[in-house]
Amino acid sequence: MQKKTGFLPYDWFKLFIAILLGLALFLFSRNQPQNPPPPPPPAVEEEAPVPQPTPTKAAEETETTAEEESGTPAKVSLPPFPEASAALEYDTAKGGLIAADGTLVYTLNADGNGWTPLIPDELNDLKLAGEWQLLDADGNPAYEWDAASQSWVAVPQAEISAEAESEPTAETPAATTNIVDCPGAAEPRLTGGQQANIMRDVNFRSSPGVADNWIGGFTTGEQVKVIGETACTPYGNGAYLWWQVERADGKVGWIAEAMANSPSYFLAPVE
């Protein structure tokens, strides 16, 4: 029997069939859907927290103002600005009136009903008297506040002495009581002919009103004689009620009985 040798046509046929089957299997596997990813584990609901009771605060701890609830700072009630102060504005942080360049010019006085000019360090040794005067160690006026320039101006001592010597002493007018109507001023408590105590440092002026009429000052504890003539000058939201008085050396002038729109008195009757 003759032995087969070489690659017969039948073998080629089987090889062709095997290739076709392999190609079919390959295409079939490509068309199969991919295995989907495993589903996520089921969500576990957390147990809702049990609400805890809110501790009750005392009434004074829980009470809040309207300003705190709204976030709006409370408005500060300020006294009238000083004269010649149109360019000033109130600065809450500095607690006073500042100029356009941010310099602090005025602070509230101790009573909170008026303004006191800021005293520089070099003048701190002087005593503040009346409505913005600084006195030296002998009690003589050394500086006056100039509201227009917003600065302390030295008082020429020689001029004051010469003016006092050349000015004739006026005769003391007869004591009367003629209190003018003065809306906005403190309730008058004086009458003509009586003595009055100086309750706080105050200016002595040649005429009623805050102007270029300063002729001296009084310190707490002094006394004056009330002549009785009065005058009223409006100031800010209030007014000054002025009394004509005579000091110990016989000089006659005017003093405001109290601060404008305030019950803080400069003068009080001697009981």
What is the per-residue pLDDT across 224-242, written as a single tens digit (0 to 9) for each? 999 988 999 988 888 899 9
Cβ density class 231-252: b for 16+ within 10 Å, e for less: bbbebeebbbbbbbbbbeeebb
pLDDT tens figures, 43-65:
544 455 555 655 544 444 444 44
Tokens 């309207």 locate to 66
DSSP 227: E
CA distances from 227 to 176, 180, 242 (A): 6, 14, 11
Reference 165, options 64, 251, 261; nearest CA is 251
pLDDT over 90 percentage in the chain: 19
Given a contact cutoff of 8 angstroms between Cβ atoms, the answer to whether 198 and 221 are in contact is: yes
> Which residue intervals of the chain are DSSP H helices?
9-31, 59-62, 66-70, 157-166
**Gyration radius from the chain CA atoms:** 47
Q: Is 141 helix (H, G, I), strand (E, B) or coil?
A: strand
Angle of CA points 204, 161, 152, to nearest 5°: 60
Q: What is the pLDDT of residue 247?
A: 92
What is the DSSP code string of 12-49?
Answer: HHHHHHHHHHHHHHHHHHHHSPPPPPPPPPPPPPPPPP
Residue 101: what pLDDT?
Answer: 81
CA-based nearest residue to 217, from 151, 126, 83, 148: 126
Higher pLDDT among residues 139 and 269, named by residue: 269
Residue 261 vs residue 267, higher pLDDT: 267
Question: What percentage of the chain's residues is helix, strand, coil (to nearest 5)?
Answer: 15, 30, 55
Instruction: Sketch the domain layout of the chain as residue ranges.
Output: 77-118, 120-167, 170-269
CB 242 within 8 A of CB 208: yes
pLDDT band, very low/low/confident/very high, at 41 (cuts 50, 70, 90)? low
Question: Per-residue confidence at 134, pLDDT binned at 50, 70, 90?
Answer: confident
Residues 6+ positions from 157 with CB-CB distance below 8 Å: 140
Which pLDDT score, from 0 to 100, does residue 252 have? 94
Any idea which of 23-37, 207-221, 247-261 has the lowest mean pLDDT? Answer: 23-37
Domain 170-269 fold: SH3 type barrels. (2.30.30)
Q: What is the predicted pLDDT for the residue at 91? A: 87
Looking at residue 27, what is its pLDDT? Answer: 79
Four-residue CA torsion sign, 185, 186, 188, 194: negative
